[in-house]
Structure formats: C-alpha cells, structure tokens
Structure 1
C-alpha cells in the first residue's frame, strides 16, 4: 500500500490521462547530491498549475502524480514511509524536503525568516515580498502561520508597524491570520503606503548624508587633535630626554655643586612628569567631550526624524 492516500473527489468518472504520468516522469528526482529538491517541487507545481479539472482538487492531482516524478533512491524512500500517512500536498512536500533538503541550508533559511528585518530604505511591499520569498525557499521551515505574521510585524520598522496598526483601527496583532494577511496585502498595494515609503526613503537618505558629514567632520577634528597632542608630547619627551642627558653629564662631580645639580635635575624631571600627566588628562577629557557632543547631535537628529515620520504616517492614512 502506498504512503500517499489521495483525498476523495466529487467526480467518480474522472481519470488522469496517461500523458500526464509520462510528462512528470521525464525528469525524475533521484535524491542525488547534485539535485535540488526545491527545483523539483517548483517544476512539479508549475506543471500542475496548468491542469484545471472541475470537481477535482489540486491535492488529488499532486497525490496521484508525485510518485511518478521520483526514481531511484527517492522512489525507494517513498515506499518506506508509513502507508496512508500522506493525504495532502503540503504533507508530501514537507516530508520530502525534510528528507532531501540539506540540514545546513534549512537552518540558514530558517534563520533568515526568524531574523527578518525591514531595510532602512526598503519599501513595505518589497519587504513583504522578500519575507514571502524566504518561505518559498524553505517551504518546510516549520513556523506556524501566526508565528510568521508576528515575525514579520516584529521585523518592520516602527513607521510600518504604525501603518498596520492604523489600518487595523488599533492593534494589528488582534487580527486573525487570514485577516492579518489580507490587511498586509492591501497595505502593500495601497497608494498611502507608497507615499510613506517615499517619505521614509528621502528622510533616511538625508539623515544618512548629514550623519556621514557630521561623523567625518568630527573624525577629522579628533584626528587633528590627537596628532597635535602627540606632537606636543613628543617635544616634551625630547626636552626631558635632553635634560636627563645634561644631568648625566654633571653627576660625575661629587661635590656640593654636583649634589645641587642632581636635586635640580630631579625637580625638573618631576615637573616634566606632572606636565605630561596633566596633558594626557586634558586630552582624554577633550575627546570625551567631543564624542559626547556627536552622540547628542545624532540622538537629536533621530528624534526629529521619528517625529516627522509619525506625522506623515497618520496624516497620509
């Protein structure tokens, strides 16, 4: 008995034409390392999408034709499954991919889905299409529909989240999976969303340009400051070295004058150390002050950008 049990159909007089079995068996999947199971599934789905029979479901067509698209080890694998355990196409596809799709690639695609996030200048529709493409690349990802919708909403930037909440008249997460999917499709194709995307892109580009200029200017200032400070300290070190050399030149005289000169050299060395220490502390304080000003400027710019996007989101909706 076969592992695949096709669902019942309304027409008792229906039979698939022999040419269909012949066509799907022309390029069978063997389960070899160089074969891509995703390509095989997509090819079969493209072929069967052209077959429309009144009173006959797609599940029935897939269940009847899929076994004929396998050969070699893949066909042997299907025969080893529990009889009657597969009753629809989604079950067949999931079991097939779980067995023949590389585990590392599966984990890679699952991570792409779970860690999805909308790009800074990425349009809402483009982000939705990309998220669906991740699922198509790994149909056996294992995420339930409601979790997929939560992942998508979580990965959107706050303006897109606000748009979905506004379109939901309150809270997007209160919608059923069917309602949520329909709402996303409507927003993705709406003119309002396109206007918001355009405004987001303009603001992001302007913001990035301003921040890049600001960071470059600050970097140049810090670089000049550091180089200048290093030159000052280098000069001080040289002077200190010369003084120490002079000290060694006079220490050979063990008399009252020599001891006075020794004490004077010690005092000068201590003063040099004190000046160097104070210069380093001043250098550190100036750097911290400059970086603090940059951070405050970036935070202020982000706050202004957020306010404008909120205004645009609710004004357009």
Structure 2
C-alpha cells in the first residue's frame, strides 16, 4: 500500500518551513527593524550575483559607499543599515548562499564580510591574482601609464595581496620595458634603480 504524503515523515519534514518564517542568517536587531529601505534605494543599490567574473571587494566598496549616504533612524548605525539592506543586494547564487547560512550566524558587518569573502574570494583566487601580479610585464607597444593602469588594476582586484609597498614597486619596475625603466630612473634621479 502507498503511504499518504501527509503521513510520511520525510515529506512532512520537507514542508516544515511552510508553518513558520524561514530562518535568517542575519540577526535582526531593534535598530535594524527601525530602518526602512526606500524603493529608490533598492533600485540603485549595487547587486552581487556570485559570478566568477564579479569582484567581491569592488561590490563591498560600492555597497558601503551607497549605505554611508543613506538617511537612518536616530538609533541606528551605518552597520545596521548595511545589514538591513544586504538581502536586497545579493542575487542569484549569492542570495542562495546567504539563505543557506546557519540561522543567526551574522550579527555584525565583520561577520558578513569574513563569510562573504571566504566564500566568494577564497585563498586560491588570491593566489591566482598574486601570480598574475608577479608575472605582469609591460608590452612593447604599451605606454608607461597604460602599464601602470594594467598593473594597478591587478592590485585593486586583490586588496589583500599581503605585499609590502617596496615589493609592489619592485615588481612594477622589473616588469617595465627598458625604455620605461630609463624614464623611471631619469625622473627619480636613478633612485628607482638603486632601491630595486
């Protein structure tokens, strides 16, 4: 005989969430509840989908920049606003990731940032970009300013590259073509060559 779906414990557990609100990863404080996300804000808020071509650090920067200029209730902070607006900014895989986090696992912006970057910008991605930085070379037809822009773009895509400023300049200088090295040396009185 077939078991009726309503009496099947496995099917019943699949429907358990229908009787109550789904659990939330973000702990909602009274200060956050007093924040009203306006419709016009939800339209301009930066979105993050969790795609490989997206830059998590850039998203966080743009998101924080937008949240910092929003009006808030007197008893709330910028961090409260960020956490309240966050579910509106995450879409696709990123939203699924947030929904799958354990209940009440995010109580501060630092908690979110740590979990978010650990998932969407893991250490292997950092290592890949660091290798690109180390291997960066100026093309023969690339101007010094174009080379700097290209190099700076790699650095910006990986803010936590753990390279000291001296090493960054050394890598940049070593990747420059001979003409650019001469230009750098002459503009600094030979300082670049001696420090490298």
Give TM-score, length-normalised by structure 2. Answer: 0.51
Number of aligned pairs? 149
What SS is found at the alignment partner of 1:133? Answer: helix
Contact 1:135/1:141, CA 8 A, preserved across alignment: yes
> Where in structure 2 are there 5+ consecutive unaligned residues?
1-25, 28-33, 70-76
Partner of 1:221: none
Q: Cα 1:28–1:99, aligned 2, differ >3 Å: closer, same or farther?
A: same
Which of 170, 182, 185 lines up with 1:165 in the alignment? 185
Q: Cα 1:48–1:170, aligned 2, differ >3 Å: closer, same or farther?
A: same
Q: Cα 1:172–1:65, aligned 2, differ >3 Å: closer, same or farther?
A: same
Which of 32, 37, 42 lines up with 1:18 in the alignment? 37
Of structures 1 and 2, the larger Rg is shown by 1
Q: Higher relative CO (CA 8 A, sep ≥ 6), structure 1 or 2?
A: 2
The aligned runs of 1:35-114 (5 Å cut-off) are: 35-36=51-52, 38-39=54-55, 41-43=57-59, 45-46=61-62, 49=65, 53=69, 64-65=81-82, 68=86, 69-70=89-90, 71-74=95-98, 76=101, 80=105, 86=110, 92=113, 96-101=116-121, 104-114=124-134
Give TM-score, length-normalised by structure 1. Answer: 0.35
Q: What is the CA–CA distance in structure 2 between the aligned matches of 1:99 and 1:119, rounded to whole Å? A: 34
Q: Cα 1:166–1:26, aligned 2, differ >3 Å: closer, same or farther?
A: closer
> Where in structure 1 are there 5+ consecutive unaligned residues?
4-14, 54-59, 176-317
Q: What is the CA–CA distance in structure 2 between the aligned matches of 1:28 and 1:47, rounded to whole Å? A: 8
Contact 1:165/1:172, CA 8 A, preserved across alignment: yes
The answer to which structure has the higher helix fraction is 1
The aligned runs of 1:289-300 (5 Å cut-off) are: none
Partner of 2:147: 127
